[in-house]
Amino acid sequence: MSAPQWNNKVVKWVDDRLPVISMLHHSAYEYPTPKNLSYMWNFGSLAGFVLVTMILSGIFLVMNYTPHTSMAFESVERIMRDVNYGWLIRYIHMNGASMFFIVVFLHMFRGLYYGSYKAPREMLWWIGILILLAMMATAFMGYVLPWGQMSFWGATVITNLFSAFPIIGDPLVTWLWGGFSVDNPTLNRFFSLHYLMPFIILGLVVLHVWALHSVRSNNPTGVEIKTPQDSIPFHPYYTIKDLFGMGVFLIFFCGFVFFAPDYLGHPDNYIPANPLVTPPHIVPEWYFLPFYAILRSIDFTIFGIPAKLLGVLAMFASIVILFVIPWLDTSKVRSSKFRPVYKWFFWLFVVDTFILGYCGAKAPDDYFMGVPGLKVIVMGQLSTLYYFAHFLVVMPLVGKMERPKPLPASISESVLKEGANA
């Protein structure tokens, strides 16, 4: 781990004055990584790759986009029809947003399953949640920019959420809009902030990686690196593994870009925004559906707090609660591999988020999966209840009551044992 000796004179001259090359060498070359990482550990670097893809494709889109209510829609159509490869750049950016969330959700489920949020990785986990929040804000504002019907009405519904807060609600919404409805000032500021946010995300990612490299990567056993035998250098072992995963991921990504570019979007967004007509069924993009379902499932009043405010609070709480799970989880064992009871609750939680997503996509009075008598709103309420119960009840209780399986003495021992059994 001592500073490497550089043979190249130029490299040495630079590094003596600003040790940036040594820093990169430490973090991307010799970084000691657990030798048993599975493919579930690919999604961090994939998320970084998608972030760079989004920034680059976004910069090129801005060269042809006009942030004005009278021209935004047409400028996007011009990108699609007239700008050379404009269709490709826009479809990369549009589907890239979905890819970003797919990769980040998998990355988070990985962290939940293997207990990557537990000490000493709480800060690492927190920064990750901040990145998720920044991504959500960025994606929301970006979706408004093409100024289609879903852009306009999505922006209207989401900004109206803030009117739920007592007293400050209405002035706050007027301030967000810069007027008395979603209009040109709103579009302009969303454009400005949509360009800013990715760089804030980039800064958070630097902190995220910094935190990771100071506490080291978790691994499928959840047992820390104890001896040099437990780790291998990041390069070439994980650079090559990450690259292979990236190849597979790119096939998936390009499949959408080239063969189903509008599959994940909503056709109403190809109708120019009309402030006088609300589309009959407003739905957010798929990655917001579980949170939208939580928002909508609160249709009752508690302690005189109106349903609208409760719904907004529940939706924000569904993410804020992630900040405290390092303390809600009482188990000493990190990896669910050695937690025979909690493992099942984890998968129940995964299913629950999918049910929430389904409920968010349907009208509240529809029947859930066509089951007669089971309204979507009721199913949404039940799955919202489980979402919070998982963190507030299951995590503390199961951690205390379950008897975990014996942990391997070290990463190395577990690898050798699995090799012997194979």
CB of 319 to other proteins, least distance (A): 20
Is 413 noted as a catalytic residue in this protein?
no
Is 285 noted as a catalytic residue in this protein?
yes
**The binder of other proteins chosen from 32, 48, 306, 326 (CB under 8 A):** 306
Q: Smaller CB distance to other proteins: residue 233 or 279?
A: 279
Report if residue 68 touches other proteins, rule: CB under 8 A: no
Q: Smaller CB distance to other proteins: residue 296 or 390?
A: 296
Which ranges in 362-394 belong to alpha helices (H)? 376-389
**55 closest CA partner among 168, 199, 210, 182:** 199
Residue with tokens 């040790």: 19
Q: Smaller CB distance to other proteins: residue 41 or 177?
A: 177
Residues 131-170 that bind other proteins (CB under 8 A): 153, 156-157, 159-161, 163
User: Which residue among the candidates 93, 208, 241, 362 is catalytic per the annotation?
Assistant: 241
Binding part of the chain for other proteins, among 10-18, 34-42, 181-189, 248-256 by CB under 8 A, reads 181-189
66 and 72 in contact (C-beta within 8 Å)?
yes
CB of 366 to other proteins, least distance (A): 12
Residues 280-299 that bind other proteins (CB under 8 A): 280-282, 296, 299
Distances (CA, A) of 198 to 203, 220, 344, 359, 407: 9, 31, 36, 30, 40
Burial of 7 (0-12, 13-18, 19+ CB in 10 A): exposed
142 and 150 in contact (C-beta within 8 Å)?
no
**The binder of other proteins chosen from 308, 337, 362, 390 (CB under 8 A):** 308
CA distance 139 to 142: 5
The DSSP output letter for 166 is T
CB of 324 to other proteins, least distance (A): 29
Neighbours of 120 (CB within 10 A): 12
Is 213 noted as a catalytic residue in this protein?
yes
| Single-letter amino acid code for the residue at 202 | L
Q: Smaller CB distance to other proteins: residue 307 or 341?
A: 307
Encoding tokens for residue 159? 């900004």
29 and 235 in contact (C-beta within 8 Å)?
yes
The DSSP output letter for 294 is H
Q: Smaller CB distance to other proteins: residue 6 or 367?
A: 367
Burial of 325 (0-12, 13-18, 19+ CB in 10 A): buried
CB of 282 to other proteins, least distance (A): 6
User: Which residue among the candidates 230, 242, 268, 329 is catalytic per the annotation?
Assistant: 242
**374 closest CA partner among 383, 387, 365:** 365
**The binder of other proteins chosen from 21, 55, 307, 321 (CB under 8 A):** 307
Site string for other proteins, 334-373 (x = CB under 8 A): ------------------------------xx--------
Report if residue 255 touches other proteins, rule: CB under 8 A: no
Q: Which residues bind other proteins (CB under 8 A)?
A: 153, 156-157, 159-161, 163, 174-183, 185, 189, 275-278, 280-282, 296, 299, 306-308, 364-365
Catalogue the active-site residues.
213, 217, 241-242, 285
